[in-house]
Amino acid sequence: MTYTEELVAVLAACELFAGLDRSMLAVVAGLVRQETLPAGAIIFHQGDTGASMYFVKSGHVVSMARDVDGNEREVYEFGPGRFFGEMSIIDNAPRSATCEVLEEAELLILDAIDFYRIVWEHADIGVLMLVRMAKIMAGWLDEASIFLQDIVRWGETARKRAVIDEMSGLFNRRFLEEAMRSRLSRHAGRVPVSALLMLDIDNFHEINNRLGSEAGDAVIASAGAIYSTLMPENGVAARLAGDEFAFFLPGLDCAAAFELAEVIRAASEQLFLEFRPGPEAAPVKASLSVSLGVAAAPAHAGDAKGLYQAADKALFMAKESGRNRVVVFPDSNKT
């Protein structure tokens, strides 16, 4: 078997050339070049420019695309008879994925100039190739849509994990601090009206010690569920750590923030949970009370750090003065 005959046999097994007779395949065989690449070789990277398409004679090639968080995920695996890289010569587009050799691969390479030579000089072959390519790519797009949906879902989950505290279902400290910095540094020359509430669950460690950590976790989850329903539309409810919560309230002045803090305190008192300290133990009811500190900008601070410190100081005053109360910075008598 001559080299050309060998290439014709290889091309005949390629899905792109189904329907071409041997004379047509011989034309294509005269324009491709062959290359052998070892396992691990990168054929091209996502974003690269390119002017060639590839046919797998033997071995396997994997394509990987970056998801929304910059991580590479496998899209396709190309085995013998498959082709890839066609969009760079049809659409003159950057490579949409990175292609890497999984196991030593023999590739047939068709450069863009030769692809278009087929289209213009051998129209019968070109038409058959383009029609076949369109059908194959339509199937690939169906597969790709599933992959893209997975990427979107995975990316959304990842972003959610980055800003949400899983136990409480509220935002985490990182998101709260970013929201405060963004809001309070947005307006040059004046500090926008905002308030911050800081909250501690009273005697939380006693619940953990008496009823166990699972009971403590249930308290955090239940409190988070209630607090999320009490926030105004643009408010940010966050769990800082342990039994510490904070509520950032853009647009609320000190008086309005105090009223909301009292609503939160009263709602916490209405939360009754029942636990069994052990397998044979009788159910034990746990009730909650909370202490809150209130601070507002620009009344008490001009930036995020100052507002945080003022609210934290007010919370300390609330706990020192008997707990289960709301204290506004710096007025420790308003309860």
Encode the chain (335 residues) as per-residue pLDDT tens digits: 788 888 899 999 888 888 889 999 999 999 999 999 999 999 999 889 888 999 999 999 999 887 656 667 777 889 999 999 888 777 777 888 899 999 899 999 999 888 888 888 888 888 888 888 877 766 655 555 554 555 445 444 544 556 788 888 888 888 888 888 888 875 556 788 999 999 999 988 888 887 778 888 888 998 899 999 999 888 899 999 999 999 999 989 999 999 999 999 999 988 877 766 666 667 777 788 999 999 999 999 888 999 999 999 999 999 999 999 999 998 544 43
- Kindly report the number of other CB atoms within 10 A of residue 154's CB atom: 15
CATH code where residue 136 lies: 2.60.120.10
Instruction: Count Cβ neighbours within 10 Å for each residue of 252-282 and write b for 16 or more, e otherwise.
Output: bebeebbebbeebbebbeebebebeeeeeee
Q: Are 96 and 66 in contact (CB under 8 A)?
A: no
Q: Is residue 164 part of a domain?
A: no
- Same domain for 97 and 179: no
Give CA angle at 170 (257, 308), nearest 5°: 45
Q: Is residue 48 part of a domain?
A: yes
- Same domain for 243 and 118: no
**Residue ranges making up the domain that contains 194:** 171-328
- Kindly report the number of other CB atoms within 10 A of residue 233's CB atom: 6
- Same domain for 139 and 86: yes
- Same domain for 8 and 144: yes
Domain boundary among 105, 137, 159: 159
Q: Is residue 224 part of a domain?
A: yes
- Same domain for 77 and 206: no
The domain tally of the chain equals 2
Instruction: Give the list of residues 6+ apart from residue 273 with CB closer than 8 angstroms, or none.
Output: 215, 218, 219, 222, 285, 286, 288
How far apart (Å, rounded) are the C-alpha atoms in residues 256 and 326?
13
- Same domain for 36 and 140: yes
- Same domain for 198 and 105: no
Entry pTM: 0.53
